[in-house]
Amino acid sequence: MSVLKYLLQKEFRQIFRDPAILRIIFMMPALQLIIIPMAADFEVRNVNLAVADHDHSAYAQQMVQKIKSSGYFKLIHYSSTYQDALKNIESDKADVVLEIPSNFEKNIIREDHTSLFIAVNAVNGMKANLGAAYLQSIIQDYNNQIRLKWIQFPKIPPQTNIEVTVSNWFNPMLNYKYFMVPAVLATLLTMVGSFLTALNIVREKEIGTIEQINVTPIKKYHFILGKLIPFWILGLVVLTIGLIIMRFFYQIHPIGNILVVYFFAAIYLLCVLGLGLLISTYADTQQQAMLISFFLLMIFILLGGLFTPIDSMPSWVQKLTWFNPVSYFIDVVRMVVLKGSGLSDIKNHIFIIVGFAIFLNSWAVWNYKKTN
Amino acid sequence: MNKEKVIVAEGLTKRFGDFVAVDHISFEVSKSEIFGFLGANGAGKTTAMRMLCGLSIPTSGKALVAGYDVFKDTDNIKNSIGYMSQKFSLYEDLTIRENIRFYGGIYGLTKKQIQDKTSYLVDHLHLQNHQNSLVKSLPLGWKQKLAFSVAIVHDPAIVFLDEPTGGVDPVTRREFWELIYDASERGITIFVTTHYMDEAEYCNRVSIMVDGRIEALDTPKALKINYDSASMDEVFLKLARKAVRGE
Amino acid sequence: MKQFFAFVKKEFYHIWRDKRTLFILLGMPITQIIIFGFALTNEVKNSKMAILDFSKDVSSHELIQKISSSKYFDVSNVLTRYDEVEPLFKKGKIKVVLVIPQQFSNELLHANQTKLQLICDASDPNVANTIVNYATAIIKDFQNTIVQDQKLPYRIETEVRMMYNPELKGAYSFVPGVMALILMLTCAMMTSIAIVKEKEMGTMEVILVSPLKPFRVVLAKAVPYMLLSMVNVITILLLSVYVLDVPISGNLSLLISESLLFTITSLALGLLISSITDSQQVAMLISLMGLFLPTTVFSGYMFPIENMPLPLQIMSNIVPAKWYYYIVKTIMIKGLGFTYVWKETLILIGMTVVLFAFSIKNFKTRLA
pLDDT in tens, A183-196: 899 988 998 888 88
- Please name the residue of chain B whose CA is at the shortest distance from the CA of residue A222: B106
Q: C22-73 pLDDT, tens per residue?
A: 888 899 889 988 888 888 776 777 888 999 999 888 888 989 999 999 888 9
Task: Taking residues B199-222, report their average pLDDT.
Answer: 90
Q: In terms of CA atoms, which chain B residue is nearest residue A218?
A: B106
Residues A250 and A313 in one domain: yes
Phi-psi region of A70 (alpha: psi -120 to 50; beta: other; left: phi over 0): alpha
* CATH number of the domain encompassing residue C133: 3.40.1710.10
Chain C, residues 147-206, CB within 8 A of chain A, namely 147, 150, 152-170, 172-173, 193-194, 197
ipTM above 0.90, yes or no: no
Has residue B204 got a pLDDT over 90? Answer: yes
**What would the pLDDT profile of A248-298 be if each residue is shown by its tens digit?**
999 988 889 999 999 999 999 999 999 999 999 999 888 889 889 988 998
Q: Answer whether B91 sits within 8 Å of A14, measured CB to CB.
A: yes
Provide the 8-state DSSP code for C330: I
- Residue % of chain C over a pLDDT of 90: 21
Question: Which of B85, B240, B99, B61 shows the shortest CA–CA distance to B166?
Answer: B85
Task: Over range A119-135, report the average pLDDT.
Answer: 84
Let me know if residue B9 belongs to a domain.
Answer: no
Find the range with the poorest average confidence among A37-41, B176-180, C308-312, C313-317: A37-41
Contact with chain C for residue A341, Cβ under 8 A: yes
- Assess whether C53 and C140 both reside in one domain: yes
Domain membership of residue B212 (yes or no) is yes
A217: nearest CB among B78, B85, B89:
B78
A18 touches chain B (CB under 8 A): yes
State the nearest Cα–Cα gap between C168 and chain A, in angstroms.
Answer: 4
B102/A212 touch (CB, cutoff 8 Å), yes or no: no
C247 versus A149: the higher-pLDDT residue is C247
Tell me, yes or no, whether A188 and A322 share the same domain. yes
Q: Which domain holds residue C299?
A: 9-40+170-367
What is the domain extent for residue B223?
Answer: 32-53+80-240
Kindly report, residue by residue over C169-225, the tens digit of the pLDDT.
777 888 888 889 888 888 888 888 888 888 877 777 666 666 667 777 777 888 888
Q: What's the average model confidence in pLDDT over A13-36?
A: 83
Average pLDDT, chain C: 84
Compute the nearest-CA separation of B233 from chain A (Å). 30
Domain that holds residue A79: 47-150
- Does any domain span residue C3? no
Average pLDDT over residues C94-104: 90
Count of domains observed in chain A? 2
Q: What is the pLDDT of residues C3-15, one digit of tens each?
A: 778 778 888 888 8
Q: What is the mean pLDDT of chain B?
A: 88
A49 φ, ψ (degrees, to nearest 5): -115, 135
> Burial level of C224, CB count in 10 A (0-12/13-18/19+)?
buried
Are C82 and C182 in a shared domain? no
Query: Of B202, B103, B217, nearest to B156 (Cα)?
Result: B103
> Residue A226's closest chain B neighbor by CA?
B106
The pLDDT, as a whole number, for residue B1 is: 46
Q: Tell me, what's the pLDDT at A53?
A: 92
Same domain, A181 and A251: yes
Look at residue B245 and tell me if it is in a domain: no
The answer, yes or no, to whether residue A159 has pLDDT greater than 70, is no
- Dist CA A101 CA C159 (whole Å): 12
Same domain membership, residue C344 and residue C236: yes
A1 has pLDDT over 80: no
Asked if B133 is an interface residue toward chain A (Cβ–Cβ < 8 A), one would say no
Judged by a CB distance cut-off of 8 A, whether residue A207 touches chain C is no
User: Is A6 within 8 Å of B88 when comparing Cβ atoms?
Assistant: no
Q: What is the C-alpha separation between C211 and C197, in angstroms, rounded?
A: 21
* C-interface mutation test, from A88, A103, A160, A349, most C Cβ less than 10 A away: A160
Residue C162 has pLDDT above 90, yes or no: no
- Give A-chain residues touching C100 at CB under 8 angstroms: none
Chain A neighbors of C197, CB-CB under 8 A: 285, 287
The alpha-carbon gap from C124 to the nearest alpha carbon of chain A, in Å, equals: 6
Confidence (pLDDT) at A158: 56
Do C293 and C353 share a domain, yes or no? yes
**A329 inside domain:** yes
On whether both C196 and C334 belong to a single domain, the answer is yes
Q: Does B203 fall in a domain?
A: yes
Same domain, A250 and A129: no
pLDDT for A144: 79
pLDDT of B33 > 90? The answer is yes
Count: domains in chain B: 1
Total structural domains within chain C: 2
Cβ distance of B79 and A217 shorter than 8 Å: yes
Does C317 lie in the same domain as C207?
yes
What is the average pLDDT across A291-314?
86
> Does residue C36 sit in the same domain as residue C51?
no
Answer whether residue A156 is part of any domain: no
One domain, residues A283 and A228 = yes
pLDDT tens-digit map of B126-178: 888 888 888 888 888 888 889 999 999 999 999 999 888 887 888 888 899 99
Residue B6 lies in a domain: no
- pLDDT band of residue B191 (cuts 50, 70, 90) is very high
Q: Which of A28, A157, A295 comes nearest C24 by C-beta?
A: A295
Q: A186 with A243: CB under 8 angstroms? A: no
Any domain includes A262: yes
**Chain A contact present for B113, CB below 8 A:** no
Q: Is the pLDDT of residue C150 over 70?
A: no
Residue A17 inside a domain? The answer is yes
Residues A298 and A233 occupy one common structural domain: yes
Whether B74 is covered by a domain: the verdict is: no
Q: Is the pTM of this model over 0.80?
A: yes
pLDDT at position C211 is: 67
Q: What is the pLDDT of residue A312?
A: 78
Residue C151 has pLDDT above 70, yes or no: no
Question: Is residue C224 domain-shared with residue C329, that is, in the same domain?
Answer: yes
In a domain, A24, yes or no: yes
Asked if residue A158 belongs to a domain, the reply is: no
Same domain, residue pair A357 and A216? yes
Q: Of all residues in chain C, what percent carry a pLDDT higher than 70?
A: 93
Using CB atoms, pick whichever of C119, C122, C281 lies closest to residue A21: C281
pLDDT of A353 reads 96
Q: Is residue A163 part of a domain?
A: no
Task: Judge whether A166 lies within some domain.
Answer: no
Q: What is the pLDDT of residue A154?
A: 52
Contact between chains at A212 and B89 (C-beta distance less than 8 A): yes
Band (pLDDT 50/70/90 cuts) for residue B247 is very low
Please report residues of B whose CB lies closer than 8 A to that of A207: 87-88, 92
Strand partners, B208: B38, B216
Q: Looking at the structure, do residues C84 and C141 belong to the same domain, yes or no?
A: yes
Give the CATH number for residue B118: 3.40.50.300
Domain shared by C225 and C310, yes or no: yes
Q: Which helix (H) or strand (E) holds B143?
A: helix B140-151
Chains B and C touch (3+ CB pairs under 8 A): no
CA distance C63 to C139: 8
Looking at the fold, whether C100 and C184 belong to one and the same domain comes out as: no
CA atoms of C109 and C106, how far apart (whole Å) = 5
Q: What is the pLDDT of residues C301-311, one digit of tens each?
A: 778 787 788 88
Q: How far apart are CA A314 and CA A309, in angstroms?
A: 11
